[in-house]
Structure 1
Amino acid sequence: MASRSAEPVVDVVPLLERQKVGRFWLILFAVSWVVTFLDGFDLQIISFAGRYIQRSFALSNTELGTLGTIGVLGTLAGSILMGYLGDLTGRKPAIVVSAAGFGVFTLAFAVAQDYPQLIALRFATGVFLGGALPLIWALVTEFAPLRLRSTSVVITMIGYSFGSAAGGPLSNLLIPSFGWQSVFVAGGLASLLAVIPVVLFLPESVKFLAQRDLRQHRIAPILRRALPETAFADGTRFTVGTGPRQRTSFTPAALFRGRTLAVVTPLIWLAYLSSSAIVFYLAFWGPILNERIGFSVSQAATLAAWASVAGAAGQLVAGRFIDRRGAGMIALLPTLAVPCLLAIGLLPLSAAPYIVILLVSHALIIGGHGGVISVTGIFYPPAIRANGAGWATSVAKLGAMLGPWLAGFALDHGVGVRGTFFVFAVFPIVMVVALVALGRVQRGLPAGADGSMLTPVSTKEDRTAV
């Protein structure tokens, strides 16, 4: 045992590095999965219910497309606002606000009476949907040991992929019997219920509390949940590394401060924007394109759901390689996705080859997207990590809005359904360039730096209980 001197100081980083996967992590993953599953479901359900909403309100194609875009615009605002809230009050309170918010407004969307109400409620839903994911990423990243950092975020994002996939079969099950409103009622109620396990079981980030010097009395109980064998003396002060505590207000300039972030932030934004463009093109237009290719409405929805499952599998496999090889490893996935997209766009494929290549392309594209997400916040210090992830997510929403619009523009100008896959092959190419450059920067970071692949050497004091 170390000396019980007045106010002993403990660095939380070496403690978190020696964690083993156990009950604490199972609970953390389970609660995170609930939030990300419902985030994915509530965001993507508009793609499956869109045709029914269009008929119910006699909407034009442009109005329907605007309804899809306005939700993404809301997520752009939400990722900034909720990221700011997360860095001001903590990850957990902001996640509670986000989950409750998108639950309330998803439920309210089901009782909208006209098109302006649909627009307003979808935007409001998007604000809270956009805030939840960056906060979850920041929280999981700040608990994860270096060896599991990317994998933990990828595992968390599998919940989002399954939530997106659930929209297809649930729409086929509920809408024919109960109307399009039923899927929004189901999503809204489930999201409100999800607030309960978040409040009861989700821990606050100890790195955030230590670096901001907030609520120090809460850190030891949380650490004992993660490391049951560790004890701390009364009055112990917790820090993050040897750097000073950060209490200053956040400004966007902080994301570019220093030689590393000045390079890293633009590269992350470019990769994330490009990835979001193709992912949201596939998510929004996928069921419609499958139907126009020749599948029935139910077959098209089912195929879109299986494509999301394939994407989840791609994310899980990618995570382990990223932890071992770094951010540059992500570039392999979009590289392999390019020939898949070109094959769909240029070759006269029958149904079976089309399905196989489509599923493979989703595994590669969504796997790469999850990889980008997993490294979005790791290069920023904990005090601004939620803002870093939030701003990157907001910039990525520009790509998310571009993707569906660009596909519609291409279709209206005679490109053809399969031709859109050819057009969107440019985005993985941009991803490859940005990710290779990001990998080079990461490999040059010293041990202990945010985003480094090298584990800092712990001291004797760090390795012993206080």
Structure 2
Amino acid sequence: MDLRIKIADSPMSGYQWLVVSLAVLLNILDGFDVLAIAFTAKSISNELNLQATHIGTLMSAGFIGMALGSFFLSPFADKFGRRPLLIISTALAALGMLMTYFCSSLESIAFWRIVTGVGVGGILPCTNVIVSEYANKKWRGLAIAIYAAGFGIGATLGGMSAILLQETYGWRSVFLTGAILTGLALSAIIIFLPESVDYLLSKRPKNALQTLNKIAIKINKPGEWHLISETPPQQKVSVLRLFERDNIKTTLLIWLSFIGVMSSFYFVSSWTPALLESTGMSKTHSQSVGMAISLGGTVGSLIFGFIVSRWSAKSTLILFTLLSALAVMLFVHSSALSVALGLAILVGALMNGCITGLYTINPTLYDADYRSTGVGTAIGIGRLGSILSPFLAGNLLQIGWTKENLYFTTAFIMLAVSFTLFLLQPKNN
């Protein structure tokens, strides 16, 4: 009897929803930790007398770390387990946030933003895979959508805390808050989070059967669960497997899709508050629009999750990319605050819905024994877009580009992604 089949076909237990909730919590903190710099950028710039290119560098530093973490740490999840890597990665994120609190120079902030990003980059592929594995077929799309919505919630909390804390305690208090919350989350996953069932079955570490049966009892699926008697051939965990004949087309297409969506989303979420403030909008109003994008992201993830319970994830994702391009073009022409807020919610909803769609499709593309490697590498490669877009935007502004130029380019990228997704063929949906 295969516990994976039982999980896929049986109703969700309370413990399975607890696993999803822990992943959601981590993604909330990822959103808080990553985008804290966007809401504190102006204050940091004023204190350290930084230019637009410097702020772009700080925004990109966290994304560089995320790319490094996703790309280089995810293979360790397939080798040593999802749970150990999650613990290590969460500890790194907490350390990076804490040390940013003590920073007083551009270089030191950039370094600790990279460390924070490495931690977040190690968290994302593990939580994405664990949610996909512990959710049943019926609720998998919604579970991943709730998980993905956490990022927007965290970003919204980051914006709210920035507004509430900066005036009284300064920008450093935002990072201290993130460090404390991430440390508490670390304690929770050490106590409650189980190992991946697919990892136990495919890699069979020491005491795998005992661990498997303990998990089965916790998720209310007790029974005579066994490892298969014949040892399966073990292939080395390597990114080179993603370029085998059967995988290369899928790998390149999902990479391009991630790069396009991530570059668009992180440009909009990172630069919008600063761009609006530079064109005359007050700090409070510009940050409110930034939070509206994050709030919309939360709503969009959930909407995507409900839609994919009825329709194909791929078709829904293509629709979201097309609508994202349209929404961005409308947003750039908004002038009244009320209109800007409404369109910001729409842009955030559609773009974060795209990220949810990629998270939903991504784990279906790879077999269990190298799934974290495939998922993590795709996310890591996608971070190239999130790294380059804030930095590139700062440099383009420096040479005379307008915000309209930047947003129209973003819309074009989302249109290109829709074509890339059309060519992608998930193995199962």
TM over 0.5: yes
Contact 2:258 2:378 in 1 (8 A): yes
Query: Partner residue of 2:7?
Result: 16
Taking the TM superposition and a 5 Å limit, the aligned residue runs for 1:165-180 are 165-180=156-171
Deviation at 1:173, TM superposition (A): 0.7
Deviation at 1:201, TM superposition (A): 0.9
Deviation at 1:11, TM superposition (A): 1.6
> In 2, distance between residues paired with 1:56 and 1:181?
11
> In 2, distance between residues paired with 1:271 and 1:246?
32
Any gaps of 5 or more consecutive residues in structure 1? 1-9, 443-450, 454-466
1:428-452 CA deviation, whole Å, 9 max, x = no partner?
A: 11110111122xx23xxxxxxxx41
> In 1, distance between residues paired with 2:288 and 2:271?
14
Query: Partner residue of 2:223?
Result: 231
1:252 paired to 2:243? no
Query: Partner residue of 1:452?
Result: 428
Query: Partner residue of 1:411?
Result: 397
Cα distance 1:54–1:151, how it changes in 2: closer, same or farther (>3 A)? Answer: same
> In 2, distance between residues paired with 1:135 and 1:349?
41
1:181 paired to 2:168? no
Counterpart residue type for residue 29 of structure 1: V
**Mean CA deviation greater in 216-225 or 267-276:** 216-225
Identity, % of aligned pairs?
A: 24
1:408-435 CA deviation, whole Å, 9 max, x = no partner?
A: 3443343322332112111111110111
1:430 paired to 2:420? no
Cα distance 1:307–1:119, how it changes in 2: closer, same or farther (>3 A)? Answer: closer
Contact 2:59 2:391 in 1 (8 A): no
SS, match of residue 13 in structure 1: helix
Deviation at 1:348, TM superposition (A): 6.3
Work out which of the two has the higher radius of gyration on C-alpha atoms and give 1 or 2. 1
Counterpart residue type for residue 371 of structure 1: G
Counterpart residue type for residue 218 of structure 1: T
> In 2, distance between residues paired with 1:353 and 1:106?
35
SS, match of residue 21 in structure 1: coil
SS, match of residue 147 in structure 1: coil
Contact 1:79 1:134 in 2 (8 A): yes
Contact 2:96 2:113 in 1 (8 A): yes
Contact 1:272 1:373 in 2 (8 A): no
Deviation at 1:128, TM superposition (A): 0.8
Query: Partner residue of 1:153?
Result: 144
Cα distance 1:79–1:348, how it changes in 2: closer, same or farther (>3 A)? Answer: closer
**Mean CA deviation greater in 323-332 or 95-104:** 323-332
Match of 2:183 among 177, 188, 192: 192
1:211-249 CA deviation, whole Å, 9 max, x = no partner?
A: 112222100110122234x322xxx5235xx99635332
Counterpart residue type for residue 278 of structure 1: S
1:187-226 CA deviation, whole Å, 9 max, x = no partner?
A: 0111111111101111111111001122221001101222
Match of 1:204 among 175, 181, 195: 195
Any gaps of 5 or more consecutive residues in structure 2? none
- The number of residues matched between the two structures is 426
Scaled by the length of structure 1, what TM-score is found? 0.87
1:60-100 CA deviation, whole Å, 9 max, x = no partner?
A: 33222212212211111111222022111111111111111
Scaled by the length of structure 2, what TM-score is found? 0.94
Contact 1:337 1:365 in 2 (8 A): yes
1:267 paired to 2:224? no
1:138 paired to 2:124? no
> In 1, distance between residues paired with 2:233 and 2:370?
9
Match of 1:339 among 326, 342, 355: 326
Query: Partner residue of 2:368?
Result: 382
Counterpart residue type for residue 199 of structure 1: I
User: Which contiguous aligned blocks of 4+ residues in structure 1 show a shift greater than 4 angstroms?
Assistant: none
Cα distance 1:167–1:398, how it changes in 2: closer, same or farther (>3 A)? Answer: same
1:222 paired to 2:215? yes
Deviation at 1:148, TM superposition (A): 2.7
Taking the TM superposition and a 5 Å limit, the aligned residue runs for 1:9-408 are 10-214=1-205, 215-228=208-221, 230-232=222-224, 236-239=225-228, 245=232, 247-259=234-246, 261-323=247-309, 324-345=311-332, 347=333, 349-408=335-394
**Mean CA deviation greater in 160-169 or 111-120:** 111-120
